[in-house]
Each structure stands twice: as structure tokens, then as C-alpha cells.
Structure 1
């Protein structure tokens, strides 16, 4: 199988857009060479590319779509909003309704402010914590991603052009290390996800983090970008019963329509408002933060979560998928090399070579064989729109991919089976090993 039209458009993207995509995780270097579909539309859990091929999609807009593509309630709300105008010089009644919806849905928060992407809100949380505490150091959990802004990207390998800043990293599920860090440094805030795809909090861990922040005077910030509306509509903080001082939201709160939010304690949030005698914090001030499409989409998402149970639907689909894929890999003799892990609503798969070591080459081979069989995704993250038919199609694709994977394990190499070069980490120092080839 080839994707001639997708390949042509991807080449044009590389000439027009640095990296060939507007999000590094969507880049062609994250997919097998020649098999990076350029999409045209989606419905439910299916997407179609410019070569008129259909795929069951996983990852669902980098985990931003929980209700499925083209959800009727969201489409209707956005259609009504766009017809009435999208951006004005004063707040709209929709802002009042959306804020009330948010604070009803997330009762652990007292105030909320909307923006357009997650980085806006996590950076605003850091700025607010620094202003409130008078400190500059921040502590950031060793979890995958928090912001495109300097305070976080400066801690990654892809830190060209970023000045050094006082950011301390700490491991998840290790309260003792965090305690030492907070004792040794004047930390303004602790930024973390309450849980992740591969990490659930050990008993008492989040409670210990909460107590340590209180003892040392640090602001606790939960990143709910992924966990919000996927673990629960009220976020991981409601699942685990630990309330942060501030929390940052996005992704699924608009079912893929751009909207994010910073929420938290009233006394902190008001430092960015008019009900304070302290120096004001430039909290969030964005032209498009309150535009009506995102707010209308959010309100439609809230209504759906109130009348249906998308989280339960994702948990059911994910559990069925994980069990069936695990069985298929075991039957093919690769069960020790391809594993499905994580919360059922947020599944990932890991790939290992013949020696059992994590392998990008074998991961790429697995991705390649899934794409060839009509399954697209860097993970097995589901939505509530994934049907039994979608799962069955995926399991059939995994069976075919597993046979090719087993042949590579027996040979000890992907040579002769993998088309082109392996994928590479999205955030890395150099373009190599997937630098564009001469054209």
C-alpha cells in the first residue's frame, strides 16, 4: 500500500511549515516513512485521508476528543454560536453560563478563567504562584509534558534558545524526594499530573504531596489536560479526593474544539482581578479565550456528560480492547514484547526487541502494520465513540501485525520488513535520526 496523495501533501507541508505539522506529536517523523496519512474528515472513531482510505483512529486528537469526531451535540452548539458572531469587544452571556457550568462540574474550584490552549493556563498558574508566594523556583514532576513555554521546554532536550531557569524535577510517587526538594529550595509551586497513562498514585501519595505543599507554603498545581473529562468530568482531583490550589484544563473539555481553563482557589485567582489590594497579576488576557465557539462546545460537552456516561463508555471499550489485544499478542508469541498498559480510557502500547529492550524500530514496524490494516494511532487511547466493531477491526489488525512482528523477532531485526527509518521522540535535540532526506 502507498499513500501518494498524502505523501505529496506532506512534502508540501514540509516546504511550508517547520516540521511539516503544527504539533510535534503530529509530525511525519512520528509515523513510518511513506505512511503518514493526511486526513480530510472524521466521524465517530473513524477518519479518512486524502487517499480515500478509512482508519479506526486512536489517540483521538492527542486525547482531546472523548465523544467522537463530529459529535451531534457539539456540532449543533457550535453551528448556533457561529451564526450569532464569535468574538466581541465585551464579555458575552455565554461566558457567564460557561463559567457556571465549569464550577458546577468541578466543585473543588472556586473561580475559572478560559483560554485557548493548555500552555496558556499552566504558564498562568506558574506566574500566579510566583506572585502569590514571592518565590521564583518551581518544582515540576518528571511526567511527559506541561507547556510549550520556556519554564518547561527548558527542561527538555529541545531547549535551544531558552535561558536557564530555576526548575527542579522530581519523580512521581516519591514523596520523600519532593520533601527534600521543598526543604532545600524556596519553591513557588509544585506542578504535576495527579495520575498518568502509566502511573496511578500509590496509596497516600497525593495526600502527602498536598500536606508537603501546605507545610512548605508552595502552591499545588494539577495539570488536568488529559485526566479532565477522561478520568472524570470533575478531573483526577475528584477521583483521588485531593484538591489542588490551582488546576489547568483543556483537550477534552471542548471535544477537540479549542478551549482551556485555569481554575482554583478564589484568594489566588483574584490576584489577577479587581478585588485585591495587592499588585495585580497578568493572569490570562487572550483575544480568543472567550470566543463563542469554544465556550459553546464546552457547554455541549458538559450537557453530554450530565446526560450520558462517556467515561464509562471509554472504560468499557478500553478494557475490551486491552484484553483482546493482549490475547492476540500472546497467541502470536509476542506477548512479552508488545504490551498494552494504562487506564482503560487512556491506553498505550509498548514495544520491545528480541532482547526485551524498548525499541523504536519495532514500534515503527508495529505502527506500519496497523496502518496498512486500517488502524491509525500512536496509542490505543479510545473515545466513547469506539464501537465493538471498531475494537474488532483493531484486534484483527493487531493479529496481522503480530505475525510480522514475530518474524522480525525471529530474525532479530526489522530489516526487510520495515519501510524506511524508525520513528524518533517528538521532543529531541536534533532533527536526526529523521532529518528530511535530500529531495
Structure 2
């Protein structure tokens, strides 16, 4: 029996977690890179193409996808990190977006909506190991056809490659209506890797790859520390993480009181986790079956003065300390780094509370992966730069290595 391990990173995971949405507005200019409209060739000279529904068993889905309509087979994703993968060998590939596709929040730091990664299968490998070799980003609109591969694309080849489409922007809803290809046989299901380990990361703006606009996070959540850890761990061990995210900027751990909500407190993950998206009150289809859960929440509760009285485990919150805010410790106009503020608190009561409420076989780990971060590794004193995310991800991968390796061989 495979035990679920809960990696409780509640106090020392990142020494600079997300700021309160109300206290630090996201006021940066919107940067859009709209997909250019392509002139359609004359229909008489084109071969008939096949539109595959994303609900087909040819596609592997990770993250939270919901049926966009009870009358159609299109799927919608609202939580960043949701992805769909498949093997492709052909000369044409496009996607058709649904009418629900939209950017919900324009103050997203210029992060594109989706990313398409192409991975070549390893030579001589009998498993599903891959080598990333190309990632392109796209901003999509509703009811649009986005061409990903055509005759002029270097990836158009008869050798199968792995295609992964990912919603990388925390501020968007992406509806996938169909995947269009030359013929149905050019898409095949990607083989299962028996050594893969599924990980669920729950967090806020750091986990979602938030940018304040001053420095780009070019691939959104794919540039954030959980995906950096995934890549580093695969390079070290050859083990593939099936990584899922439930993360959103400004989210608190617990739900604020009505009075706190009126004063601008953000949404509570303790409620939003069970919803289809941060934009909807519809129930989520909780089909995640992770072996490891990484939790990085709690700082927004302190920053927004959210009371712990709504928590079913108040002692856990009382022990969770906010991560350091470098904005108060150094001049943002200088490159001098502030002294690292010690935020270590006794988490014994928090972990004891979690253990008492958990079933048998659940393990808890507390890791400090941000002890080496300084102000110059952040863009605003709180949110990591690309380099900061690499530091966090590399340290997290080192911590996860033993745990993941033991699960992969079990």
C-alpha cells in the first residue's frame, strides 16, 4: 500500500512568501502577445484534418480540468499548471479554444496564457523519459485556432515527440475545445512510466510564479520553484514527477471572516481548494491522488490579519510564522542584501495537531529551502526572481530526492 506523505512546509519553506493582495496591489501594465491570425490556405489544396476531443484517452491530463459544458466534450482549466500531454508524429497540429477562454486579471505581470513544450524521446530508452528541447508560449482568445506545428515548424517530424500544453498563467481561464491534426494516428497516448511519482503543490503567488511586472517570469508557473525542483530531480534520479498545482496569489490558508473580507482580505485556500477554480464556486472534482503534498501557505493570513478562529486546527495557525519581508530591511535602490531574519519557531504543536488528525501512514516533514535567499534574489522584497526560484527549486529537489526515490521503487 502506497502511503501518502504530507510535506508540511508551513513556516520555513520560503523566507519571503506572498504578500497580501489587498496590501500590495498588482498594478502593472498588461502585456499581451496575441497569436497572429494566419491566412487560411485555399480549402481545395488542403487535406482533410481531424479534430480530436480533449476527453479522448489519447490525452493525459494533469491538474484540474472541468467539463466546459454538459453538452460538449471541451475541457476548461482555471488553476495554473493544468496540463495535457500526448505523443505526436505529424506535420500539422493546432488547438481550438472555447468561448470561455479569457484573461481574468490583466495585472498578471505579462505572463503568457499557455505554453507548448516539445520533448524528444530518449534514444534507446524503454521508458517514457524525455529531453526537453523547445518551449513556446501563446496568448489565446476565445473561439480561436492556434497553430502549434505546421510544415515550416522544426518539430514537424515522423519521429514521435511528447507535446505538453500547460496553462501557465494564474490569471486566465483556458478552454480547450479540440486538438486538430493531419490524421488520428498522428496522436497517441504517452506511455506510462511506472516509476513516476505524483506530487501536489498547494500555495499562493510564489508557487504560481507571480511577477509584479518589474522582472519577467517568462513561463509563469513553469518558471516557479516546484517545476524547477521537478526538472532538477529528474536530472539527478531519472524519476519523473507528475506535478499538479493548486495555487493563487493572495490566497490565505483559512477563510477570512465576513468583516475581514469586507476589509479586503483574500480568499481562503481551506475553502477554495474544494472549488473548481478561484473564479467559480462550483465544486471541484477531487481526483488528485498524490503521493506527496507540498503546502506553502500562511503568510497572507498574517499579512492580512486574518483571524485563525475559522481554522479547524487553530494551534497549527498560531505556530505558523510569516516569512521575512525584505522590503522593510533594505533599500530597494541598492544591491546591498539585508541580513536574513531568523523566523524559526517551534512547530511541534502544529505538527502534533496535524498528526493527531491524520490517518496512519501519513508522514510529516518540515524543510527550510529558503535559508540562502536574500533581497537581491527577489523582485520586490517578496517574490523571487528567476534566479531566486532556481535556488528554491534546487534545494527542494535535494530534500525530495530520498523521499521520491523510496516511493518510486515501492
Query: TM-score scaled by structure 1?
Result: 0.24
Structure whose residues are more often strand by fraction: 2
